[in-house]
């Protein structure tokens, strides 16, 4: 059970603010500030306006929910995903949008997981964070947070402009389940190689409307169960048979994301294909994704991948590894029968892949 504390904050100068938002602070570099001893420590988010006074220029009111024990995102777990999802679900009707502050290392995994949990979403859920703590002079936290708040509160004709789970970072708004962290030492930490940016922030926020999900008329539906009996297997030259057999034969193993070469290619050694076939026959779901940033799996394009479909391996098209593993966990948690998992795995359910 995740415990948290709540603070209500208003920066609106009227009784009718532009939007009411829920801010969820889970942890990460973003929320660090210098204490009296000069050391970086988590700061109290009820004082966020003191750190970012420009919030007063936005006509919004918001509630801040802070995890009592902030998480280093390297320690993220499915129960953290569930906690964030439950908070949004329980407060869905009360707020116009949501901003989730999260560590960058696993942000793309959490954003992907939330995109599957929050089906029929008609409100923005914007993830953001920082490469440099908010208490540091050159921090990117202020701009990331301010713009995330502005996007989360954005409406046109009474409807949210971006009714989906996104990551906003370094002037770019990306679909959450299309995003990957590709840099650790630059402000532009995230990219979306296989899908266009949903918006670019400059003097104005320029939305790429044609690529934003249209969920007009969809009913909001929350599903918060994940099955963690999955793994990622990245291929490499000279992978050994005993290694593959041990991974595929792990007790309780239900699903494997197979990171293959290029457009979905693997070794075509008879023992390799047979290992995959035997695992599939035991009910292990094997999902083929490309190791390449911007890669797309096209099973059968080359001779080395033709045998995969015969072995029961499923093509992940242009899905990222982060979205693939969270989608596999989500579907295994939601459906009891493997055919239903396989049917849903190969089609887009939240804009995470092309058909």
Pair 206, 336 in one domain: no
Higher-confidence residue: 242 or 51?
242
Pair 128, 241 in one domain: no
Pair 199, 280 in one domain: no
φ, ψ dihedrals at 348, nearest 5°: -70, 130
- Residues 22-44 have pLDDT tens digits of 999 998 777 666 666 666 666 66
- Residues 165-208 have pLDDT tens digits of 999 998 999 999 999 988 876 666 788 999 999 999 988 999 99
| Set 11, 26, 29, 110: catalytic member | 29
Q: How many domains does the chain have?
A: 2
Locus of tokens 């603070």: 7
Pair 97, 192 in one domain: yes
CB 118 within 8 A of CB 125: yes
Residue 352, in any domain of the structure: no
Pair 173, 284 in one domain: no
Q: Does the structure show a pLDDT above 80 at 81?
A: yes
Q: What mean pLDDT is predicted for residues 293-316?
A: 86
Pair 22, 139 in one domain: yes
Q: Which two tokens stand for residue 332?
A: 């295994």
- For 142, 267, 272, the CA distances from 238, given in Å and listed in that order, are 47, 9, 11
Pair 275, 156 in one domain: no
Q: How far apart are CA 316 and CA 289, in angstroms?
A: 5
Q: Does the structure show a pLDDT above 90 at 276?
A: yes
Residue 109, in any domain of the structure: yes
Q: What mean pLDDT is predicted for residues 8-23?
A: 79
Q: How far apart are CA 156 and CA 284, in angstroms?
A: 45
Pair 119, 195 in one domain: yes
Domain boundary among 222, 240, 266: 222
Pair 182, 297 in one domain: no
Pair 112, 142 in one domain: yes
Confidence category of residue 295, pLDDT binned at 50, 70, 90: confident
Range of the domain at 65: 4-222
252 conformational bin, left if phi > 0, alpha if psi -120 to 50, beta if neither? left
Is 128 catalytic? The answer is: no
Residue 193, in any domain of the structure: yes
Residue 117, in any domain of the structure: yes
pLDDT value at residue 232: 97
Pair 179, 236 in one domain: no
Confidence category of residue 48, pLDDT binned at 50, 70, 90: confident
DSSP secondary structure of 86-151: HHHHHTGGG-SEEEEE--STTHHHHHHHHHHHEET--S-EEEE--SS-TTSTT-SHHHHHHHHHHH
Q: Does the structure show a pLDDT above 70 at 233?
A: yes
Domain boundary among 201, 222, 243: 222
pLDDT value at residue 137: 67
Q: Which two tokens stand for residue 57?
A: 């220029």
Q: Does the structure show a pLDDT above 70 at 94?
A: yes
Domain boundary among 195, 222, 249: 222
CB 185 within 8 A of CB 96: no
Pair 113, 164 in one domain: yes
């Amino acid at each position: 059970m995740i415990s948290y504390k709540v603070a209500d904050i208003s920066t609106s100068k009227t009784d009718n603010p532009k939007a009411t938002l829920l801010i969820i602070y889970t942890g990460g570099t973003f929320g660090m500030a210098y204490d009296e001893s000069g050391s970086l420590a988590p700061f109290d988010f009820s004082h966020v306006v003191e750190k970012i006074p420009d919030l007063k220029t936005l006509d919004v009111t918001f509630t801040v929910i802070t995890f009592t024990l902030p998480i280093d995102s390297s320690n993220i777990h499915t129960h953290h995903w569930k906690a964030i999802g439950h908070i949004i679900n329980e407060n869905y009707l009360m707020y116009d949008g949501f901003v989730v502050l999260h560590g960058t290392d696993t942000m793309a995994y959490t954003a992907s997981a939330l995109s599957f949990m929050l089906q029929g979403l008609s409100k923005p859920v914007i993830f953001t964070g920082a490469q440099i703590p908010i208490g540091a002079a050159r921090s990117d936290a202020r701009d990331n947070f301010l713009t995330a708040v502005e996007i989360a509160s954005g409406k046109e004709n009474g409807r949210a402009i971006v009714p989906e789970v996104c990551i906003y970072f370094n002037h770019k708004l990306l679909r959450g389940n299309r995003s990957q962290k590709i840099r650790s030492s630059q402000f532009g930490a995230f990219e979306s190689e296989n899908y266009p940016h949903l918006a670019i922030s400059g003097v104005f926020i320029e939305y790429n409307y044609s690529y934003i999900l249209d969920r007009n008329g969809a009913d909001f539906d929350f599903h918060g169960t994940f099955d963690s009996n999955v793994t990622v297997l990245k291929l490499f030259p000279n992978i050994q048979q005993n290694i593959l057999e041990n991974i595929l034969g792990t007790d309780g193993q239900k699903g494997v994301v197979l990171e293959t070469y290029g457009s979905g290619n693997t070794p075509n050694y008879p023992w390799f294909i047979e290992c995959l076939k035997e695992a599939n026959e035991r009910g292990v779901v094997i999902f083929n994704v490309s190791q390449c940033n911007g890669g797309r799996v096209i099973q059968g394009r080359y001779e080395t991948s033709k045998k995969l479909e015969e072995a029961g391996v499923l093509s992940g098209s242009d899905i990222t590894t982060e979205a693939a593993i969270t989608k596999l966990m989500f579907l295994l948690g939601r459906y009891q029968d493997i055919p239903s998992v396989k049917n849903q795995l190969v089609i887009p359910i939240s804009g995470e892949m092309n058909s």
